[in-house]
Amino acid sequence: MNAMPHTADSHSRGRDIRRILIEDFDNGFTAMVREYQPGIYSGARRLTAGPHDAEDVAQDTFVRAYKALSEYEPERIAELKIRPWLWTIALNLCRSRARTKAAEFEFQESDAAITDEPEAFDEAAWVARLGSLNDAQRTAVVLRYVLDLPIAEIAEATERPVGTVKADISRALDRLRLTMKAEVLHAR
Amino acid sequence: MPDDTTHADMTELEQSLTALASMPPDSLLRRTVVSVGSADEAATTDSPIGPVWIAWSTRGVTAVSPLFASPLFDDFALIHRRTAFEANHLPNELAEAVTSALDSGDSAGVPIDTTGIGTFQQAVLGACATIPAGQVRPYGWIASEINNPGSVRAVGSALGKNPIPLLIPCHRVVRSDGSLGNYAFGAEIKHDLLIREGAILA
């Protein structure tokens, strides 16, 4: 279900991709997009206004990554932690998008309800619930649970200490529980 | 803490969050790698030697390969090393230029992308591209055109690995004694192409 489990497998795939990037840049880059773009899309889907924004972020992240990587020395590529590095780029893009949207999450709610594919769970409700979190909490909880990223990687991607990320996740879960309790009370 | 929880230990809330994962549209990978020039697209079109795969980047045609040489798209991608995504057809403008070039033997109107090809082979292919339809040149002519008269054998091998045959007309390069010499797709096809162009008599 999760796009990118943090298993030994994903570590060895990351190593393989770094090797191909050094030996055969274009094929390595394509392999990198194939491996990581679904996750970037899936996360951006919950951190931007809708599927269209998520596609833009998922494409632009790799356009920027391509420009950066084509100037990196092989030694730098060999040591690159690709997934958190990509997420640092992607989160910047998500944030600048959020800034340019006039009415951030109120707008997103209706956007999601109209444009999204029909899903088994209550899409609009989840947009509102995630919208009740602050940026740092929403980012941490999406990267942790929607993408199954380890805490250490989230800390790298967001350039925040591990302890802070843990606290963000913990507060986010508390907040979501409260929101959902309130929903139940309202529904009665 | 969520750090090392397995899914079995997850709360209902945490499980609901994992269900928020979604997949991008199929076309996103292709759009992304094609837009930065990291991969090509490819489609088939007709040519004087039967249907051929044509691959193109944002800069121009990167490869030509007859279907009898690589009947499957996978073979084609393997032969040409760069990843190419199969498309339904060439973009209109490129399709017109390619069709007209294959028909007339004059490829001047087709953008060609030789990125990634070594400088020696680029020089050989560049000289070869100047040979007009209906004419032939010996391997030695190319060697002297690129100011490397001693490189006749290397010229032959560079032409043998021409990734863009037909559009870069390596079939117009022959031996100095007038015999046709080798061709990646067989001497018979080379012969037929030259007859078609009026370079040699049937």
Per-residue pLDDT of chain A (188 residues; tens, 9 = 90+): 444 455 667 788 889 999 999 998 988 999 999 999 999 999 999 999 889 999 999 999 999 999 999 999 999 999 999 999 999 999 999 998 877 664 445 444 444 444 445 445 688 889 899 999 999 999 999 999 999 999 999 999 999 999 999 999 999 999 999 999 988 888 77
Residues B147 and B192 in one domain: yes
What is the reported pLDDT for A115?
45
What is the reported pLDDT for A96?
87
**B14 is a domain residue:** no
Last residue of a domain, one of B104, B131, B160: B104
- Contact assignment for B24 to A54 by CB distance below 8 Å: yes
Contacting residues of B for A45, CB less than 8 Å apart = 20, 22
Q: How many CB atoms lie within 10 A of CB A102?
A: 6
What is the reported pLDDT for B202?
57
**B178 is a domain residue:** yes
Cβ atoms of B42 and B87 closer than 8 Å: yes
* Angle in degrees, CA B88, B89, B93, rounded to 5: 150
Residues B88 and B135 in one domain: no
Residues B99 and B126 in one domain: no
B107: closest CA among B23, B152, B170? B170
Nearest-10 crossing angle of helices A51-69, A82-100:
130
Residues B72 and B47 in one domain: yes
Burial of B19 (0-12, 13-18, 19+ CB in 10 A): middle
Run of H or E including B174: strand B173-174
Last residue of a domain, one of B104, B135, B152: B104
Say whether residue B23 is in contact with chain A using an 8 A CB cutoff: yes
* Angle in degrees, CA B66, B72, B74, rounded to 5: 115
Backbone angles phi, psi at B14, to 5 degrees: -65, -40
| CATH code: domain of residue B150 | 1.10.10.10
Mutation target to probe the A interface, by most A beta carbons within 10 A, among B13, B18, B32, B79 is: B32
What is the reported pLDDT for B95?
96
Q: Looking at B4-157, which runs of residues are DSSP E strands? A: 40-45, 52-56, 61-66, 84-86, 137-138
**B1 is a domain residue:** no
Query: What gap in Å lies between CA B4 and CA B31, rounded to an integer?
Result: 36
Residues B125 and B156 in one domain: yes
Residues B150 and B190 in one domain: yes
- Contact assignment for A66 to B82 by CB distance below 8 Å: no
Residues B185 and B148 in one domain: yes
Residues B124 and B95 in one domain: no
Residues in CB range of B144: below 8 A, 6 or more apart: none
Own/partner contacts of B104-109, CB < 8 Å, gap of 24 or more, are B104/B133, B105/B132, B105/B133, B105/B134, B105/B169, B105/B197, B106/B132, B106/B133, B107/B167, B107/B168, B107/B169
Query: What gap in Å lies between CA B62 and CA B111, rounded to an integer?
Result: 9
- Contact assignment for B28 to A58 by CB distance below 8 Å: yes
**B4 is a domain residue:** no
Query: What gap in Å lies between CA A166 and CA A170, rounded to an integer?
Result: 6
Q: Which CA distances in Å does A92 have to A3, A44, A52, B71?
A: 21, 11, 17, 45
Q: Which CA distances in Å does B190 have to A16, B125, B163, B193?
A: 42, 17, 16, 5
Q: Which CA distances in Å does B66 have to A132, B150, B171?
A: 58, 32, 14
CA distance B196 to chain A (A): 38
**B111 is a domain residue:** no
**A2 is a domain residue:** no
**B55: alpha, beta or left? (left if phi > 0; alpha if psi -120 to 50):** beta
Say whether residue B83 is in contact with chain A using an 8 A CB cutoff: yes
Catalytic residue among B98, B170, B193, B199: B170
Contacting residues of B for A26, CB less than 8 Å apart = 37-39, 82-83, 116
Q: Which domain holds residue B81?
A: 38-104
**B193 is a domain residue:** yes
- Contact assignment for B29 to A166 by CB distance below 8 Å: no
In the Cβ-directed half-sphere of B48, how many Cα atoms lie within 13 Å? 22
Sheet holding B52-56, edge to edge: B61-66, B52-56, B40-45, B84-86
The DSSP symbol for A144 reads: I
B38: closest CA among B52, B59, B53, B16? B59
**B31 is a domain residue:** no
Residues B100 and B123 in one domain: no
Residues B49 and B90 in one domain: yes
| CATH code: domain of residue B88 | 3.30.160
Q: How many CB atoms lie within 10 A of CB A19?
A: 14
- Contact assignment for B32 to A177 by CB distance below 8 Å: no
**B166 is a domain residue:** yes
Q: Which domain holds residue A24?
A: 8-187
Number of domains within chain B: 2
Number of domains within chain A: 1
Query: What gap in Å lies between CA A142 and CA A15, rounded to an integer?
Result: 25
Query: What gap in Å lies between CA B48 and CA B17, rounded to an integer?
Result: 58
Give me the interface pTM, i.e. the ipTM.
0.82
Query: What gap in Å lies between CA B33 and CA A115, rounded to an integer?
Result: 26
pLDDT (tens, 9 = 90+) of chain B, 202 residues, equals: 445 545 556 788 999 999 999 999 989 999 999 999 889 999 999 999 999 999 999 999 999 999 999 999 888 888 887 789 999 999 999 999 999 999 999 999 999 999 889 999 999 999 999 999 999 999 999 999 999 999 999 999 999 999 999 999 999 999 988 888 889 899 999 999 999 999 876 5
Residues B132 and B86 in one domain: no
Cβ atoms of A17 and A32 closer than 8 Å: yes
Q: Convert the pLDDT of each residue in A94-132 to its tens digit.
A: 998 877 664 445 444 444 444 445 445 688 889 899 999
The DSSP symbol for A118 reads: P
